Chain A
Amino acid sequence: GENVEQHPSTLSVQEGDSAVIKCTYSDSASNYFPWYKQELGKGPQLIIDIRSNVGEKKDQRIAVTLNKTAKHFSLHITETQPEDSAVYFCAATPTISNFGNEKLTFGTGTRLTIIP
């Protein structure tokens, strides 16, 4: 099955600087890569996603890049703010299963702390 590795596990960044979180995946058939932000006591919230037919996607201060050849994808947050502090998870889907579902395989998370 799919295996997703995420680095780093913790990341501290000065407010205003950029943060980068990286993930690698094992299944070359994976074609959907979402990123989730989880704040304390809350469920994960989808913040951005990318599909395998594009290499980069941006949404304001957040961007995701995908390198299918190397099987890795990254989350970039620019001009970080205190409210960006949270745990971030990457995920990938293997080939659509025989059941038609998109069973996400998650990385183990990155705790991002923005230092004021």
Chain B
Amino acid sequence: GAGVSQSPSNKVTEKGKDVELRCDPISGHTALYWYRQSLGQGLEFLIYFQGNSAPDKSGLPSDRFSAERTGGSVSTLTIQRTQQEDSAVYLCASSLRSREQYFGPGTRLTVT
């Protein structure tokens, strides 16, 4: 079946602009996660959704970052007033309550 998909695959934006990153999880997966992967680094947790609710936003680095999920499916991560330090690969993962998280291919964000 279809895996987790993310769009766009690459995004180049100017400093100060807003960007939206999209995640389509595996159908039926109730949990959705966003992670950030900086060059040569591990994955940093950003936010967790259970259904449409986000009970854990503890990893969002600043109030410029926000995310929503609708219909228990698609999620959008929004970064406002982008900064160069926001450049990274943003990864989305989904899971049932079995702990096994399945990742999408990521969106590579470059802020110039």
Chain A interface residues toward B at CB < 8 A: 4, 6, 32, 34, 36, 41-46, 49, 89, 91, 93, 97, 99-109
Q: Tell me the smallest distance from the CB of B3 to a CB of chain A, in Å.
A: 9
Residue contact A34 to B100, C-beta cutoff 8 Å:
yes
The closest CB in chain B to the CB of A9 belongs to B40
B45 touches A108 (CB 8 A): no
A-B contact pairs, 25 of them (CB 8 A): A32-B99, A36-B103, A42-B106, A44-B91, A44-B103, A46-B100, A46-B102, A91-B43, A99-B48, A99-B50, A100-B50, A100-B55, A100-B97, A101-B50, A101-B55, A101-B56, A102-B95, A103-B33, A104-B33, A104-B45, A104-B101, A105-B45, A106-B42, A108-B41, A108-B42
Q: Given A43-B4, A43-B91, does the pair A102, B42 have CB atoms closer than 8 Å?
A: no
For A36, the chain B residues whose CB sits under 8 A away are: 103
Answer yes or no: B105 CB below 8 A from chain A CBs.
Answer: yes
A-side binding surface: helix, strand, loop or mixed?
loop
Q: Is B25 an interface residue (CB 8 A)?
A: no
Specify the chain A residue showing the minimal Cβ separation from B102.
A46
Residues of the B chain whose Cβ atoms lie less than 8 Å from the Cβ of A89: 42-43
Q: Is A107 a contact of B42 with CB atoms below 8 Å?
A: yes
Whether the pair B100, A49 counts as a contact (CB closer than 8 A) is yes
Min CB–CB distance B21 → chain A (angstroms) = 13
Complex interface: chain B residues within 8 A of A105 (CB): 45
Closest B residue to A36 by beta carbon equals: B103
Closest to B104 in A: A43
Q: Contacts A101-B55, A109-B42 known; A43 to B100 CB distance under 8 Å?
A: no
In the bound complex, residues from chain A placing their C-beta under 8 Å from that of B104 are: 43
Closest to A42 in B: B105
Chain A contacts for B101, CB-based, 8 A: 34, 46, 102, 104
CB distance from B111 to the nearest CB of A (A): 20
